[in-house]
Amino acid sequence: MSNCFRPRAVMPGSGKPGRQGLNLKAPALTNPDKFDERTLMSTPNIRSRKLMLVSLLTAGALTVAGCSSDATNDSTSSESTNSTEAADISEATAEGETRTVTDSEGNDVEVPAEPQRIVTLHFAATEALVDLGLTPVGQGSFNDGLLPPEKAADIKDVPTVNTEDGLQLEAIAALKPDLILVPNMIEPSDVEQLREIAPSYIYTHSGEERANWSGSVAQIADATNQSAKIDELENAMEKRQEEIAETYSAELADRRFAVLNSYSEQEVALNSDTSMLGSVLGPAGVQWSQQQNDIVGDEDGGELTVSLEQLNEAVGDADVILYGTDLNQKPTEYYETMSKSDMFQNLDAVKDGKVYPIGKMTVAGYTDAMASLDMLKELLKDIKG
């Protein structure tokens, strides 16, 4: 072993050790479809990656200066590797252009002009990247049915860095990301640790603006310099909505629709016309259950959970029931149990056989939106006969 003293790199401006000093596990996130609402404090501007480079190179210089003349071959090899890595970082920093973008919390974040190693902490950002033609190097939890098979194949082997045990900060750091996409329910203390690893951009996922899923995708597009692709995605969705509204105008004219699901025993999750799915189905001609709109009211995201006993009060006027599923049209176990209850079976729409899958109630991107529109088209074909 060498007698060399090896100081740990200190993150610029933080007074804290670099990756070695990170708390390796942040608190676990809850149900990936339904997060608790959390208010995040405003946070300082992101520090320049160039300052990080200076700190790393300085630490490297101290390492060489402190080595004894009888350093072993292992030490020499290690220092050579470190020098090569530092040179790689230096070259990437020198050649890579940066942009300054403002995230959903009002923070100015300096990001690569063309980020190459993006880490997502939630599936919503993963789908947004896929829609924009990008693939993350690390992702939040992923399950079958969240994407169509052809798109899932592109990310099924991407490492998971956000598990039931929490954020895997060491794993995130090991991926050497140049951008981290952070949903706005992450604790501020965890965000600060993420910022010690790479520029971290906070996008909207929860709160008053939760229903504006397309706005969240636009934020991610801005962070990744892919905003030019949004118009194409939006135009394709609007075209599909217009086609459905025109083709099935008669079937849509005199019917009221209710959207629901269940994520726990004896409870029903409701979506009004101001929800994520409301913004997708409404322009396609879907008219909402008035009872459902009334009971949900102005709840954040157009979402409300009620007891099973309130089901008839909530959606009793609906002519058609639409229930949430994954993209394979698989419902939750709780929905399957609820759908067998007397409260559900006594609904007029159920007695009339007008119950259909509609896809994900949490719309993560245009893939989800188009899948729900496809399901809407199929169920309207069935109603038309």
Q: How confident is the model at residue 164 (pLDDT cuts 50, 70, 90)?
A: confident
Question: Is residue 11 a part of any domain in this protein?
Answer: no
> Is there a single domain that holds both residue 82 and residue 142?
yes
pLDDT for residue 42 is more than 80: no
Question: Is residue 5 a part of any domain in this protein?
Answer: no
Q: What is the pLDDT of residues 20-33, one digit of tens each?
A: 333 333 433 433 33
Q: What is the pLDDT of residues 339-378, one digit of tens each?
A: 999 999 999 999 999 999 999 999 999 999 999 999 999 9
Q: How confident is the model at residue 15 (pLDDT cuts 50, 70, 90)?
A: very low
Question: Is residue 119 a part of any domain in this protein?
Answer: yes
Residue 87 burial by Cβ neighbours in a 10 Å radius (0-12, 13-18, 19+): exposed
Q: How confident is the model at residue 165 (pLDDT cuts 50, 70, 90)?
A: confident
Question: Is residue 149 a part of any domain in this protein?
Answer: yes
> Is there a single domain that holds both residue 268 and residue 121?
no
Among 190, 225, 260, the domain-final residue is 225
pLDDT value at residue 61? 41
Question: Is residue 239 a part of any domain in this protein?
Answer: no
> Is there a single domain that holds both residue 270 and residue 376?
yes
Question: Is residue 230 a part of any domain in this protein?
Answer: no
> Is there a single domain that holds both residue 254 and residue 316?
yes
> Is there a single domain that holds both residue 261 and residue 363?
yes
Q: What is the pLDDT of residues 288-318, one digit of tens each?
A: 999 999 999 999 999 999 999 999 999 999 9
Q: How confident is the model at residue 247 (pLDDT cuts 50, 70, 90)?
A: very high
Which segments of the chain does DSSP mark as H helices, in order?
Answer: 49-65, 73-95, 123-131, 149-155, 169-174, 188-195, 213-223, 230-247, 249-253, 276-281, 290-296, 311-315, 333-338, 342-345, 348-351, 366-384
> Is there a single domain that holds both residue 220 and residue 252?
no
Residue 314 maps to which CATH number?
Answer: 3.40.50.1980
> Is there a single domain that holds both residue 281 and residue 370?
yes
Least confident of 37-51, 123-137, 255-269: 37-51
> Is there a single domain that holds both residue 145 and residue 42?
yes
The identity of residue 250, as a single letter, is A
Structural domain span for residue 282: 247-384
> Is there a single domain that holds both residue 323 and residue 369?
yes
> Is there a single domain that holds both residue 70 and residue 131?
yes
Question: Is residue 10 a part of any domain in this protein?
Answer: no
Mean pLDDT for the stretch of residues 250-266: 97
Neighbours of 43 (CB within 10 A): 17
CA atoms within 13 A on the CB side of 304: 21
Q: How confident is the model at residue 96 (pLDDT cuts 50, 70, 90)?
A: confident
Q: What is the pLDDT of residues 271-283, one digit of tens each?
A: 999 999 999 999 9
pLDDT value at residue 95? 57
**pTM, 2 dp:** 0.76
Residue predicted with more confidence, 44 or 123 = 123
- Number of structural domains in the chain: 2
Phi and psi torsions of 230, nearest 5°: -65, -45
> Is there a single domain that holds both residue 99 and residue 161?
yes
Question: Is residue 268 a part of any domain in this protein?
Answer: yes
Among 167, 194, 225, the domain-final residue is 225
> Is there a single domain that holds both residue 219 and residue 76?
yes
Mean pLDDT over each residue of the chain, to the nearest integer = 82
